Amino acid sequence: EPSLLDEYCRDCDFVFNLAGVNRPKNDEEFMEGNFGFASILLDTLKRYNNICPIMLSSSIQATMMGRYAGSEYGKSKLAGEKLFLDYADETGAKVLIYRFPNLFGKWCRPNYNSAVATFCHNIANDLPVQVNDRSTELELLYIDDLVDEMIDALSGHEHHCEFDGMDAVGDENGRYCHVPTTHKATLGEIVDLLHSFRDQPSTLIIPEIPNNSLAKKLYSTYLSYLPKEKTIFPLKMNIDERGSFTELLKTDKCGQFSVNISKPGITKGQHWHHSKWEFFIVVSGHGLIQERKIGTDEIIEFEVSGKKIEAVHMLPGYTHNIINLSDTEDLVTVMWANESFDPNHPDTFFEEV
C-alpha cells in the first residue's frame, strides 16, 4: 500500500527491510523484487528527509562465490547492497547490510527455500528425504539468534564484519553486519541428527544438546513439525504383582531416568552395585529407604514422602531397598542412574539389606 509506505517512511525511527523475492516465476522478478522495492523505499525516505538507520536483509549469495557464482538471486541482492551503500554515502544515514546464510527455525515452510525445513517435515512425517551429496556444508543461522541480533541493531549494538570469501569476519569498522552465532554442518550430519530425534521414542535416548549448539536448536525446530499423533508416545511398563518399573529417558553420557511404582507394603531393591550409583526421589506416597555397607552391619535409613520431596543417594558398595510403608497408597519413586542399563554388564548383585 503506497500511502502506508509514505506514512511509515515519514515517521519511522528505524527501518527493517526484510522484503524480498526468492522463488519467482522468472529471473527478472529477482531484480524487480529485490532491487526495485529497495529503490522505492530509499526514494520515499529521501522525500521526507528521514535519515534514520535502515537494515537490509541481503544474502550470502551476494558474494557470488562458490556454488553461488552466477546466481541471479545473488546478483539482485548485490545490486540492492550497492544501492544501500550509495544511499549511505549520499545521505549520511546509517545502513546495516546483513548477508544472511541459511535460516532455520520452527514453522519454516517445507519444500520452499530451506533444506532444513524440508528435512524436518519429511522425517517427522515418515516421508523420504533426498540428499544428493552428504558432504555439502551449510552455514546455518537460527531464527532466535537472528531476532536477538535485530534487537541489538535496533538499539545501536549491531555486530559489524567484512567478508573473507563467504566467511564473515568480525570487524568493528566493517561495511557489513552479521549475526555472530552461526553453525556449519554437512547435509549428512543434519539428516543423521534428525533421524536420532525421530528415533527417540523407541531408543529413549536424548542426544547431547549443549547450550547454544546446533543440535539443541535443530531439536526445537524438528519438534515444530511433529504431527499431533506423534506428540505422545507409549513407554514400556514392566509390570508384576509388586507394581511396575518404567524406563523414561536415556542419555549417551549422563545415565538414565526411570519411575518405580511399589504397591502397599512392598519392598523392592535388595541389591548393590560396584560403580553404578543412583538417586531415589519419592514423589508420591510414604516409604523407607535402607542402605547397608557390604561386609558390615552398618545400616543407614531415610524415611521419605511425596509431601517433602528429597533426593537420596544410593551409594556404591551399599546394598539398598525401598519399602512402601503405606497400607493403601502406591509409592512412586523417580530414579536416576549414572549409566544406562547394560544387560551385558549390569553391575547389580542381589543381597538383602
> What residue ranges do the domains of the chain occupy?
2-112+134-185, 237-350
* CATH topology for the 2-112+134-185 domain: Rossmann fold (3.40.50)
How many angstroms from the chain centroid is the CA of residue 139? 16
The angle at the Cα of 125, spanning 123 to 126, to the nearest 5 degrees, equals 65
Q: What is the phi-psi region of residue 204: left when phi exceeds 0, alpha when psi lies from -120 to 50, beta otherwise? A: left
What whole-number distance in Å separates Cα of residue 331 and Cα of residue 290?
15
**Tell me, what's the pLDDT at 29?**
57
DSSP helix/strand/coil, 134: coil
Residues taking part in catalysis: 73
Please give the CATH superfamily to which domain 237-350 belongs: Jelly Rolls (2.60.120.10)
- In whole angstroms, give the CA distance from residue 152 to residue 146: 10
Place of cell 549417551: 252
Give the DSSP letter of residue 34. I
User: Residue 22 gets which letter from DSSP?
Assistant: S
Which residues face 246 on adjacent strands?
237, 259
Task: Decide if 153 contacts 177 (C-beta within 8 A).
Answer: yes
51 bridge partner residues: none
Return d(Cα 204, Cα 259) in angstroms, integer. 14
Query: Which one-letter DSSP state was computed for residue 32?
Result: I
d(CA 47, CA 63) in angstroms, rounded, equals: 31
- List the chain pLDDT tens, one digit each, 353 residues: 678 999 999 999 999 999 765 555 665 655 565 567 888 999 999 999 999 999 999 989 888 888 888 888 788 888 889 999 999 999 999 999 999 999 999 999 999 889 999 999 999 999 999 999 999 999 999 999 999 999 999 999 999 999 998 999 999 999 999 999 999 999 999 999 999 999 999 999 999 999 999 999 999 999 999 999 999 999 999 999 999 999 999 998 999 999 999 999 999 999 999 999 999 999 999 999 999 999 999 999 999 999 999 999 999 999 999 999 999 999 999 999 999 999 999 999 999 99
Strand partners, 228: none
Residue type, 259: V
**pTM of the entire structure?**
0.89
Q: What pLDDT does 28 receive?
A: 60
Q: Quote the CA–CA distance of 22 and 62 in Å, as a whole number.
A: 13
What is the predicted pLDDT for the residue at 36? 73
Q: Where are the beta strands (DSSP E) in 5-79?
A: 15-17, 54-59
Among positive and negative, which fits the CA dihedral 131, 132, 137, 142? Answer: negative
